[in-house]
Amino acid sequence: MAEKGGGGRDGNSTLLHGKYELGRLLGHGTFAKVYHARNLQSGKSVAMKVVGKEKVIKVGMMEQIKREISVMKMVKHPNIVDLHEVMASKSKIYFAMELVRGGELFNKIARGRLKEDVARVFFQQLISAIDFCHSRGVYHRDLKPENLLLDDDGNLKVTDFGLSAFTEHLKQDGLLHTTCGTPAYVAPEVIGKKGYDGAKADLWSCGVILYVLLAGFLPFQDDNLVAMYKRIYRGDFKCPPWFSPEARRLVTKLLDPNPSSRITISKVMDSSWFKKSVPKIVRSKEEQEYDENCEKAKQPETLNAFHIISLSEGFDLSPLFEEKKREEKEELRFATTRPASSVISKLEEVAKAMKFNVKKSESRVRLQGQESGRKGKLAIAAEFFAVTPSFLVVEVKKDNGDTLEYNQFCSKELRPALKDIVWTSPAAENSIPA
């Protein structure tokens, strides 16, 4: 976090830290104002969330702000608003965030309910983002249409992680204990103050959101708050007649007042309604680049000494410049005395076992999963470099998808399958005790 001075006035706008030009006010909440801002170095627009330190400290919310910063640094996902950087002056904290121009999803619903196919796409994106958060031990706890924004292309972006909780906030009973969120979207067990599972509570909120998208109104509406809470406790709601049977079934399973029998996120993703009419897959940028590269490189590339040094684990200088932990690396390299065709056969075996699609040329192979993961379909690219005609270096990279899923794939599937063809130096072999 940059602890620098505030900014000088420049006409009607403020120059912040010599880096951002602050423009018009986009919106404000109790503790924060959000401005349009421009990064003077890149020329890109951002949303600048400005939080007054004094006000936050006064109400004891400093921990919550720190939590929001650490959560947003952890959760990088296409359907989650991106946090670029955090700065601070003596009196304020500045969040430079992705500018999402399409407004709130809530504004769409205010004009009337959505068609089921349209609602499904938003719900698929919401579940993808929440599943990703949960895989990182993060629970949002304040999911509602106002915290769901739309970008220029109409894609959903989850925002406002101010109330989110980490796994480490669990008490000894493994449950969360703070009541938070917005009444109409809050799960019954959260209101009950007995402790709750953050993942299950988030799913209840997703159920309310799905209901609102399809119906155009709330499932538990009552002017009297106590009466509304009673209805939430009982799971007392009715689906309008225009809900399809599959949608009715899914909403009912999500709005189950008993958290232990409420549907899980994996079962949601497996439900017939969720899987119906998955959006057409447009070829990703990575796939297009891969095909172009295949055209250019028909033969395995020959390496010079500098290439070999940069590819060698022993001479790999990248850790000096990378912040990533070793286990989060998105590539692995190995040498082999087998021909490229043998390596390709091994990779095809792995692909077949995992039901991955394969694209190949003489010097490259790309494996792509058919199932969508937490960041789209997992794709792995392998490229062969010829050191000598009988000695290859193979570089395996994550080409698409989630790093966590890629690392699990490498350790459980790829490494075991390749162990017979990986070359180890005689010195390394001799040092292994029999």
Binding residues: 53
| Tokens found for residue 56 | 């936050």
What is the C-alpha separation between 382 and 417, in angstroms, rounded? 14
Residue the block writes with tokens 């993703």: 269
| Tokens found for residue 220 | 């538990």
The region, left, alpha or beta by phi > 0 then psi within -120 to 50, assigned to residue 17 is: left
CB atoms within 10 A of CB 340: 22
* Residue 151 backbone dihedrals phi, psi, to 5 degrees: -90, -175
Distances (CA, A) of 61 to 3, 31, 68: 19, 10, 11
User: Of 151, 133, 150, 153, which is closest to residue 142 (Cα–Cα)?
Assistant: 133
Report the greatest alpha carbon distance in the chain.
79
What is the C-alpha separation between 1 and 69, in angstroms, rounded? 10
DSSP 8-state class, residue 278? P
Rounded to a whole number of angstroms, the CA Rg of the chain reads 25
What is the C-alpha separation between 286 and 375, in angstroms, rounded? 13
Question: What residue numbers does the annotated binding site for ATP cover?
Answer: 53
What is the C-alpha separation between 293 and 286, in angstroms, rounded? 10
What is the C-alpha separation between 170 and 188, in angstroms, rounded? 18
How long, in residues, is the chain? 434
Catalytic positions are 142
Distances (CA, A) of 116 to 143, 213, 251, 261: 20, 8, 13, 26
| Tokens found for residue 115 | 């068609």
